[in-house]
Homo-oligomer: A and B are copies of this chain.
Amino acid sequence: MISVTILGAGNVASHLYKVFSKTEQVFVKQWYNRSIGSISTHKNEVEIIDDLLKIKEADVYILAVSDDAVKTLSASLPLENKLVVHTSGSVSLYDIDKKHRRGVFYPIQTFSKTAEIDFSNVPICIEALKSNDYQLLKKLAISIGSPTKKINSDQRRVLHLAAVFVNNFTNQLYRIGHEITESEGAEFDVLKPLIMETAKKVQDFSPYMAQTGPAKRNDKKTIRKHLKSLESEHHKDIYKLLTESIQRTHGRKKL
C-alpha cells in the first residue's frame, strides 16, 4: 500500500485524487489546499486540510499546483527527507526544496474538469534523484494503470513543448476550422470524423508518412483558391506559414 498526500485542487489534483481513491494499492492520506472550499465535498472520504502544520507522514507528497507555486509550497512543507514530487511539464526538479527527496510525476495528457480520464491512456513521465524513489513512483503509476516513462529534465522540457504543439495548437486549428465552416453555414460536425482519423493515422504511421493535401503536392492552384477564400488576414498568415512548413518538410519550394 502506497500512502499519498495530494497538494492542490486543480484539474490534475482532482483527477489524481479520483483515480487514487479507487485504487486498492493506494491510500490517500490527506488532501491539502490553501482554501478548502472546492475540495470540501470529499471531506467524508479523505482528510482535508488547509494548514500545512497538520500534514502527516506519507510515502509520497504530490504537488499538483501551478508552476509558480512549486518552489514556495515545497519550501513551506514542514517535512524533511520525504519524497516530494511535482506534476509539471516545465518546472525543474530542482525547484523543489532540497530538504526533500525530489522527483517528478508528470502525466502527459489534457485534463479538464468535465471530461473523464482513463489513466491507461495517460503516460506518466517519471524523474527521481534516487533509484528507490524512482521505483516507488513507477509502482504508483502502474497501480493506476498508466504506462510509465523514465525521462530526464531535458526530455521532459521538450515533451511539454511538443505537447503544446500537438494539443493546444492543434486544438486551435480545430477552432479555426470551426470558425471557417460556420461562417458559411456549413457544419463543423462534418469534420469530426476527419479529425479523429487524422489523429488515429499517426498512431500507426509517422506524421511524415501520413501527410497529404495541397501543400504537400505543391498544388498552387488550390493554395491560391484557399488564400483567396480566407477572410481573416490572421487565418491567411497561419495558412501560409503552415503550408510553408509542410513544404519544407517534404522538400517542396517555399511559397
Contacts and interface: CB of A to CB of B under 8 A. Distances in A.
A176 to B, nearest CB: 5
Say which size band chain A's interface belongs to: 35 or more
Interface string A175-208: 1111011011111101111111111111111111
B173 A173 contact: yes
Q: At the interface, is chain A mostly helix, strand, loop or mixed?
A: helix
A151 B211 contact: no
Interface in A108-163: 108-112, 114-115, 121-123, 125, 149, 151, 154-163
Question: How many of these chains are in the complex?
Answer: 2
A210 interface: yes
A212 interface: yes
A166 interface: yes
Interface of A: 67-68, 90, 108-112, 114-115, 121-123, 125, 149, 151, 154-178, 180-181, 183-188, 190-208, 210-216, 219, 221-222, 225-226, 229-230, 234, 237-239, 241-242, 244-246, 248-249
